[in-house]
Structure 1
């Protein structure tokens, strides 16, 4: 996309937001989206901006991230989410540019690429755990002071259907996604007194780079791929809702909803922050 096209897209986004005014559910809110250059992150940036939010896009893909930020008249900041200081710098950048933070979509993630047997690779393991789990823990730690300063807010972390079910073919990916689910269920009630809501997103095979190696197999088996827009719309539903400690599962052909864990306490609901 040319610089002129970027400018026109940004102007269009700003004009649409102005026309939406107070009717936009997220008007006046500031959102951070990690892994925002493509896939689920990109679609969620567009959805949050359409709902009225000012968005800071973060990704290691600098060119892609800047293009998405320009599309919505937002901002871009490169960030390796597996680095705690990089997460802190991302939040500081957002506060300086936008005045605060209300929403954090901690979405960055990667495929594992190895198992626990002969194919175990320490570097791949560390990379996957760093992005998929550390990125959520570090992102949450970094953004909490900014959310508290606004009197509350919303954190949504991307887990996976692999965080709710067994995945024998990729146990390490399932392990770090189960950890994100456990974190959401635990932090939801823990942060509720501070009016900070924490929820997890658990999509099945959704349109993103992470499924690229699986596309042939999915096509052969007739497994539908969930459009990224469906996932993005679910993020907006979560952010504009009042639930906390919920794990929303998304499967093709079904309406997204919080997963119902049997024989365990139900998640809490708060007045919208």
Structure 2
């Protein structure tokens, strides 16, 4: 297993196979989750689609020949039930895309709304934390696994127009960078994908602005292909940026400066 510094270039060759593998995709009813569920299934994985949208989730599960499970990822018990369901139906879990997420919908000024804030943190950060906590015993039982969390370019840069969304996505980035090496000895790889404006419901309120500024929307399939590359590779602790017009690759973080010389007395 390679650490983040050597993660670039560790993706699979064309036609990588996931035969015999079992995958969970949260937020799988549409957008990035749907595209990834289809891609993992095409590569041979058995897929469990989790979402709060039963109609969309069941449609995707039917399309991939898998299973659907309703799941509120902000609830620890719901995450455990999702993993238990997957083990019961499929025999175990090898791969997970923790993708469920929502827009924040408020700032820190007069528009601050506690319920909206907690909803966003619950889906975008707690969903990754609780999902990972629930997954680890099942992956240990299989001798290892691969977890990918959906972060965002908002987790790699300042986002003045939505600082709370940036905060929870920065937290996911920090989790990936820290959990990658922490879980390496157990053969559990943890990485994140950090897309820019990608095709999903979360960008619906921004579509007019994106069009006016001629900002391209990243196809969901590009994100799905990156997830497949990560789970069939051998890197861990990486945060793969996905930007229009560029090949996805792990973001290269600068090291924190070391201690300076002691101040003169």
Is 1:61 the counterpart of 2:40 in the alignment?
Answer: no
Q: CA deviation at 1:24?
A: 5.2
Q: Deviations over 1:7-43 (max 9, x none)?
A: xxxxxxxxxxxxxxxx751000000000000000000
What SS is found at the alignment partner of 2:100? Answer: coil
**Structural mapping, 1:61-140, within 5 Å:** 61-140=53-132
The correspondence for 1:229, drawn from 210, 221, 226, is: 221
CA distance in 1 between counterparts of 2:36 and 2:75 reads 23
CA distance in 1 between counterparts of 2:212 and 2:157 reads 22
TM-score, normalised via structure 1 length = 0.88
Q: CA deviation at 1:263?
A: 2.3
Gaps of 5+ in 2: 1-14, 258-265
CA distance in 1 between counterparts of 2:247 and 2:28 reads 24
- How many equivalent residue pairs? 243
TM-score, normalised via structure 2 length = 0.91
Is 1:254 the counterpart of 2:246 in the alignment?
Answer: yes
Q: Deviations over 1:33-57 (max 9, x none)?
A: 0000000000000000011100000
Structure (1/2) with the larger helix percentage: 1
Asked if the contact 1:24/1:52 (under 8 Å) is kept, the reply is no
Query: More relative contact order in 1 or in 2 (CA 8 Å, sep 6+)?
Result: 2
CA distance in 2 between counterparts of 1:223 and 1:242 reads 33
What SS is found at the alignment partner of 2:176? Answer: helix
Structure 1 segments (4+ residues) deviating >3 Å: none
Distance 1:172 1:56, change over 3 A: same
CA distance in 1 between counterparts of 2:133 and 2:96 reads 11
CA distance in 2 between counterparts of 1:120 and 1:90 reads 32
**RMSD, aligned CA:** 1.0
Asked if the contact 2:16/2:232 (under 8 Å) is kept, the reply is no
Gaps of 5+ in 1: 1-22, 266-273
